[in-house]
Amino acid sequence: MPLTPELRRSFFEQMTLSRAFDDQMIALYWEGKLPIFQFGAGPLPGELHCSNGAEPVGAGVCGALSADDMLTADHRPHHVAVCRGVDLDRMAAELLGKKTGLSQGKGGHMHIYDPSVNFASSAIIAEGMAPAAGMALARRLQKRPGVAVAFIGEGAANQGAFHETLNLVGVMKLPFIVVVQDNEWGVSTSKSESTAIERNSDRAASYGLAGEFVASNDPDDIYEATVRAVARARAGQGGTVLELKTARLAGHFMGDQQAYIPEQMKQADPIPLYRAKLLRDGVLTEAEADAIETASKARMEQAMQFAKDSPYPEPAEAFDHVFAGGSEASDKQEAGAAA
């Protein structure tokens, strides 16, 4: 699909919706955590890694994928999930630990699963790489189409799973893309401190894969690079390491003061930049852009309301879903803490 005005408008819609998701979650996160900060307090407890600044990645990559394709994301999954079309209400409810959440409150924000749109995420660095490749293999065996896309951070590219998976993808010529989101930081460690070379896309050569690098954090450019990678994958030409320069505007997680970031490394917000670009290109008027931003916020308010209004799971539900088809954990409940 060419980069039509409709598509670009939808990128803007998705980016603003993703931003609304994060902004509203951030606001809620601080409830109950001030003046004394504590991960476990308030209506949205636990660690929270927001995607502010990375929305172009979600919009641009997901825009180039089809319903068949399979995605795995990492500890920072919101932008990908929102742009993939994961059920917004149930995702919001999951972050709040509610019964109506995607995982009925068992997963939280680092464990977002929505099989209806082939979306999964997990919290161990680079953990999603190999499963994504396996999903691609499954489809080949099933003679069903589908490209697998693993989203990781630039910090994750130094984890062993990155290497092992990419070599397997190369050997098996799997339809696979790893999206390396280079936001310059892995917690407080800069890419240059952690990575021996400048670009992970250059590492593609180690595996006989294609490497592409997009420097702009602009969804149009990301889209077009992804379209090329997807085309290669569908044509049986193998995998791609797609490295995308992006931004991390809300710290590593909530509570990160980011004192370690020097002034010259402060990052630009891609949403106003893209808005200005679309206005410049005549794709949107000021009024249309405002309307989209307003609609995104409203949609997210609705999801937040759904989440807040939903009940918590019953304590005993903790024992469900240990195993598919009935939990053999039951004998242990008696002996254990549930007593």
Ligand X SMILES: Cc1ncc(C[n+]2csc(CCOP(=O)(O)OP(=O)(O)O)c2C)c(N)n1
d(CA 15, CA 274) in angstroms, rounded, equals 9
Q: What angle do CA 222, 226, 231 make, to 5 degrees?
A: 155
> Judged by CB under 5 A, which of 97, 153, 211, 239 binds Mg ion?
153
- Chain residues 285-304 in contact with another protein, contact rule CB under 8 A: none
Could you write out the DSSP letters of every residue in 39-72? TT-SSS-S-----TT-HHHHHHHHHT--TT-EEE
User: How many residues touch Mg ion (CB under 5 A)?
Assistant: 6
Nearer to another protein, 148 or 242 (CB): 148
Minimum gap (Å) between residue 158 Cβ and another protein: 4
Q: Which does 156 bind (CB under 5 to 8 A by kind): Mg ion, its own copies, ligand X, none?
A: ligand X
Question: How far apart, in whole angstroms, are the C-alpha atoms of residue 217 and residue 181?
Answer: 10
- Considering only 33-41, 119-127, 134-142, 170-178, which stretch makes contact with ligand X by CB under 6 A? 119-127
Angle (nearest 5°) at CA 297 between 296 and 300 = 85
Residues 181-240 interacting with ligand X (rule: CB under 6 A): 183, 185-187
Q: 116: how many CB neighbours lie within 10 A of its CB?
A: 11
Indicate whether 85 belongs to the interface with another protein (CB under 8 A).
no
Burial tier of 309 (Cβ tally within 10 Å: 0-12, 13-18, 19+):
exposed
Name residues contacting another protein, limited to 186-215 (CB under 8 A): 186-189, 193-195
Instruction: Tell how strand 70-73 and strand 119-121 pair up.
Output: parallel
Binder of residue 123, out of Mg ion, its own copies, ligand X, none (CB less than 5 to 8 A by kind): ligand X
Q: Which residues bind its own copies (CB under 8 A)?
A: 158-164, 166-167, 169-171, 193-197, 202-203, 205-209
Instruction: Report the interface residues with Mg ion, using CB under 5 A.
Output: 153-155, 183, 185-186
